[in-house]
Copies of this chain bind each other. A is one copy, B any other.
């Protein structure tokens, strides 16, 4: 699945009420959220995944980005002004607030829905017009309107993620975190990212669509650990699992008072202010202030500029905290052997489901059976459900025929979608959550005769895909260095795509995870490391015409090369995804011999790995779709004939 589509959603900075950002009662920084947290959709009618709603006494405006302009135009009523973020002359939310409000207003946010950093940024930017940022505690204004009609928060049971898939037990993971605490002179860390809690505790849940996580917080102290979760979600099994690891339970809502208690004790906290919400961090700071004032003690060295509702006064909350990225983030991204094994196995089963699906779809379309994009996605789900360990989809399937394929974030609805035919390209980006792994794959096919233009574009995308797949790079290389490899074949004819090339993927966890990425944006300096998983998904989108994307998941591995200049490791990729790439769409004359070999080798590998899981028509389909394309010898001897 396209990386930037979702990663944009998690980087929204200045947002107001209904956008989920951080945690409790309420919502954590997640790409997918439970219905009761879909406050922006309830308030505005706009159902896109990224946006910001701002309401003043006489105005209401909604910001969203280019992926959603058309959808927002359709869904918003006339009371709302649509702000097309990124378009020339369109103000940011804070610029707009500074413009429409008279100087010295009070701007409210729900502090559980903003990370501390995002709240700080908003506070700073509106202070230019002397506006004050007010953290509205104890109530959410949208919920007040929503009232009884608001859905209940999810109460889904959690489960233990088996050690055979998790690979490392909870006590070992906790000691790892504790060694980090000690190294940094901290007494405790607050973990608020749901996938980090799930990874650290070898637990999974289903509070949220597509991600096997559950609403919770975790505080790890040097000798204890406390999970803040609705106890109804915790079965006997899970309880025993937690007890064994020395993890206590407290109610979900107790997080703030617990943080205040730590402040009173004088504990030094590790806080990732980019993910922990403003409610928790400001509560900690105020509590430190109160406590320190009582003790009249001057603080230690300030780690980061202090935050305070009152700009003057002692700011001891800053003195008792280390603001740093969560110690779980990198650890989670580097997969252990069991996680890798689970990812490999689940990808093979997923490949079997996809082979059945593509075989079926090709047949249906050839027989001219009318099928909508939604029906096709539903059928794919049926095939996946038959696979062992299937849980759910890992994101909303992007099933786009023809021009719909060019809408990068397209999501068909039963009321408004196309039929899949044989006159144009069909782009299908989908993934699944299995008990042992998470998948994400895109293929683009044509069931009739592709145009030379479509073949040229597809082949250029494929060349980019191959170039990245085959890349070898020294350790400590950030992902953005490799991005150009996926684009240069398109650039040669003046084409490009407006999204990143690769995102991290969790092991039986979120389909998008950091910290690594492969993107044309140069901001992410995280080095690609052995054991990380990334997607490889270059594309090309011709507006109102067609879309192309080819996506596999890749595992980063250390290579054993003839040399190792500089005495360092050289890394490369191992493919996890094994589904045929439609040969019909390849213009072989554009490929180099080594690119032709790549396609043939990949298809041979697909056949070898997936055919044992198939039988009958599907096996025949796989055989047909993994035959070598025009081979090198043939091609050049032909060139000789005509020379």
Contacts and interface: CB of A to CB of B under 8 A. Distances in A.
A473 B481 CA distance: 15
Contacts of A485: 484-485, 488
A100 interface: no
Given A592-B592, A633-B640, A493 B562 contact: yes
Nearest to A522: B522
B495 A563 contact: yes
Contact of A636 (B493, B498, B561, B636): B636
A637 interface: yes
A394 to B, nearest CB: 30
Contacts of A643: 633
A482 B481 CA distance: 9
A163 interface: no
Nearest to A491: B472
A321 to B, nearest CB: 25
B636 A494 contact: no
Given A488-B471, A488-B472, A564 B494 contact: yes
B493 A563 contact: yes
Interface string A464-482: 0000001111100010011
Contacts of A298: none
A311 interface: no
Interface in A589-622: 592-594
Given A636-B636, A637-B636, A565 B472 contact: no
Interface string A286-311: 00000000000000000000000000
A569 B561 CA distance: 39
B474 A570 contact: no
A463 to B, nearest CB: 12
Contacts of A482: 484
Nearest to A564: B494
Contacts of A566: 496, 498
Contacts of A593: 592-593, 636
Contacts of A635: 636
A314 interface: no
A283 interface: no
Contacts of A520: 481
A284 to B, nearest CB: 31
A633 B638 CA distance: 9
Contacts of A496: 474, 565-566
A488 B498 CA distance: 24
Interface string A559-578: 10111111000100000000
A639 interface: yes
A367 interface: no
A78 interface: no
Interface residues on A, range: 35 or more
A471 B561 CA distance: 27
A38 interface: no
Contact of A637 (B473, B570, B592, B637): B637
Contacts of A43: none
A632 interface: yes
Contact of A592 (B473, B488, B594): B594
A265 interface: no
A494 B562 contact: yes
A492 interface: yes
Contacts of A562: 493-494
A474 B633 CA distance: 35
Contacts of A494: 472, 559, 561-565, 570
A612 to B, nearest CB: 29
Nearest to A497: B565
Nearest to A456: B562
A564 B495 CA distance: 6
Contacts of A490: 565
Contacts of A473: 484, 488, 491
A561 B522 CA distance: 26
A131 B80 CA distance: 61
Nearest to A563: B494
A561 B492 CA distance: 8
Contacts of A525: 522
Contacts of A639: 632-633, 636
A471 B490 CA distance: 11
Contacts of A636: 593, 632-633, 635-637, 639-640
Nearest to A594: B592
A458 to B, nearest CB: 15
Interface in A496-549: 496, 498, 520, 522, 525
A492 to B, nearest CB: 5
Interface string A105-134: 000000000000000000000000000000
Contacts of A563: 493-495
A484 B643 CA distance: 35
A492 B485 CA distance: 14
Contacts of A474: 491, 496
In the A-B complex, the 7 residue pairs with the smallest Cβ-Cβ separation, listed nearest first, are: A636-B636, A494-B561, A494-B563, A592-B592, A633-B640, A472-B491, A496-B565
10 contacts: A472-B491, A481-B520, A491-B570, A493-B562, A496-B565, A522-B522, A592-B592, A593-B593, A633-B636, A635-B636
Given A481-B483, A632-B639, 7 more contacts: A470-B492, A473-B484, A485-B485, A491-B570, A494-B562, A494-B563, A522-B525
